[in-house]
Amino acid sequence: MRELDAQNAADYLRETARAPSDATIEVRELAGGVSNIVLRVDVDDRPPIVLKQSRERLRTRVEWLSRLDRIWIEVDAMKQLAAILPGAMVPEVLFEDRAEYLYAMTCAPDSCQVWKAQLLAGVIDPDVARQAGEALGSIHSKTAGQETMLERFAALEVFDQLRLDPYYRHVALAHPDLAKCLQDLIDETITPPMKSLVLGDFSPKNMLVGPSGLILLDFETAHAGDPAFDLGFFLSHLLLKAFRATPDVAPFFELISEFWTAYRERHVVDEALSSRTNRHVGACLLARIDGKSPVDYRNELDADAVRRAGRAILRENPAQWSQLVGVVAHEMR
């Protein structure tokens, strides 16, 4: 396998006849996650495309490995989601190169902004949170119990490598008194009462806000699993940004309220799902402080307050979201 970068990607496109030999090609690396190389490619006057290639070793301080073929989980998920979500909410897959573990997709408009960047800059738009809730609720409800489709995403190895192990098991090493609680949560996540297509990386860093609405990215951790994980993972991101904004937290709780309202309009949330979601929130809060992949703005918030909140949620196991908010608000004060 040849690893692509901004210097050799143009040669790759010419050699594979995916661009004319005499074409002017400009390539630049796109910022983002730690697990893949992502390149924007402009070829003459054609619409830009994005190349994405899997890498076995993630770019983190602590060694973190995952299988290369996870990229095909992402490609498959994108094709499934295109039939579920409206408009161009998911990029279109343009071609696949199985030998090189890469694919190409359509490029979002230049005017798009990463929602995470907007939130960190203090740009709060409840409509974006509503779109996120509508999207996730639709994914979970429309795929629930669809056994034939879910069988395509039955393997959990990549989800374990990129989420359960570096997040929950790694946190258990830092908080041994919570090890049993975290292991119980892992066991529940692996064998949920009802399965849906779970993205495993539904967060503001993987959402672009554009003129035509929200665009979702990054699906390599997609699997047939418990919707509670997606909910807890996403909500923990909004809560972390609220901790960063303390004491001006009200706008972030408004975002959470809009998200929940939209999600509940599309997917039923009973007490059992709510309780599991809350425990995932607590575990994810701890993971983004003490896991293998802490948030990049960790030094801009009170890590001890986040840690106390995560621990309290896991210990007290609040059944309702309002109860979890009470626990978090206490630590924020």
Flag whether 99 is in a domain: yes
pLDDT tens column, 84-93: 998 899 999 9
The residue out of 106, 135, 164 marking a domain boundary is 106
Mean pLDDT of the chain: 94
* Residues 299, 125, 323, 314, CA torsion sign: negative
pLDDT of 46 > 60? The answer is yes
Flag whether 3 is in a domain: no
- Residue 66: band (very low, low, confident or very high) from pLDDT cuts 50, 70, 90: low
The residue out of 74, 106, 138 marking a domain boundary is 106
pLDDT of 98 > 60? The answer is yes
Flag whether 258 is in a domain: yes
Domain that holds residue 98: 9-106
Flag whether 321 is in a domain: yes
In this structure, the answer to whether residues 41 and 118 fall within a common structural domain is no
Which pLDDT belongs to residue 293? 86
In this structure, the answer to whether residues 101 and 120 fall within a common structural domain is no
pLDDT tens column, 268-313: 999 999 999 999 999 999 999 999 889 999 999 999 999 999 999 9
| Mean pLDDT of all residues in 56-70 | 63
Alpha helix positions (H), 121-165: 126-143, 147-150, 157-159
Strands (E), the chain: 25-29, 36-43, 49-54, 93-97, 102-106, 113-114, 196-198, 207-210, 213-216, 223-225
Which pLDDT belongs to residue 69? 86
Pairing of strands 49-54, 102-106: antiparallel
Residues 140, 200: Cα–Cα separation, whole Å: 12
In this structure, the answer to whether residues 191 and 284 fall within a common structural domain is yes
The residue out of 88, 106, 124 marking a domain boundary is 106
- Tell me the C-alpha to C-alpha distance, in Å, between residue 226 and each of 22, 159, 188: 50, 12, 8
Helix 179-190 and helix 271-290, axial crossing angle in degrees, nearest 10: 120
Which pLDDT belongs to residue 34? 57
Residues 312, 298: Cα–Cα separation, whole Å: 19
CATH of the domain at 29: 3.30.200.20
Residue with the bigger pLDDT between 31 and 4: it is 4
Flag whether 2 is in a domain: no
Which pLDDT belongs to residue 32? 55
In this structure, the answer to whether residues 198 and 298 fall within a common structural domain is yes
In this structure, the answer to whether residues 99 and 243 fall within a common structural domain is no
pLDDT tens column, 201-245: 999 999 999 999 999 999 999 999 999 999 999 999 999 999 999
Residues 14, 18: Cα–Cα separation, whole Å: 6
Which pLDDT belongs to residue 60? 47
pLDDT tens column, 140-192: 999 999 999 999 999 999 999 999 999 999 999 999 999 999 999 999 999 99
In this structure, the answer to whether residues 123 and 66 fall within a common structural domain is no
Flag whether 328 is in a domain: yes
In this structure, the answer to whether residues 156 and 257 fall within a common structural domain is yes
Percent of the chain past pLDDT 70, that is, above it, reads 96
In this structure, the answer to whether residues 285 and 188 fall within a common structural domain is yes
Which pLDDT belongs to residue 106? 97
In this structure, the answer to whether residues 132 and 98 fall within a common structural domain is no
Phi, psi of 170 (to 5 degrees): -65, -40
In this structure, the answer to whether residues 59 and 176 fall within a common structural domain is no
In this structure, the answer to whether residues 47 and 147 fall within a common structural domain is no
- Residue 57: band (very low, low, confident or very high) from pLDDT cuts 50, 70, 90: low
**Omega before residue 247 within 30° of 0, cis:** yes
| Predicted TM-score of the model (pTM) | 0.94
| Mean pLDDT of all residues in 192-199 | 95
In this structure, the answer to whether residues 146 and 215 fall within a common structural domain is yes
Flag whether 4 is in a domain: no
Flag whether 88 is in a domain: yes
Counted domains in the chain: 2
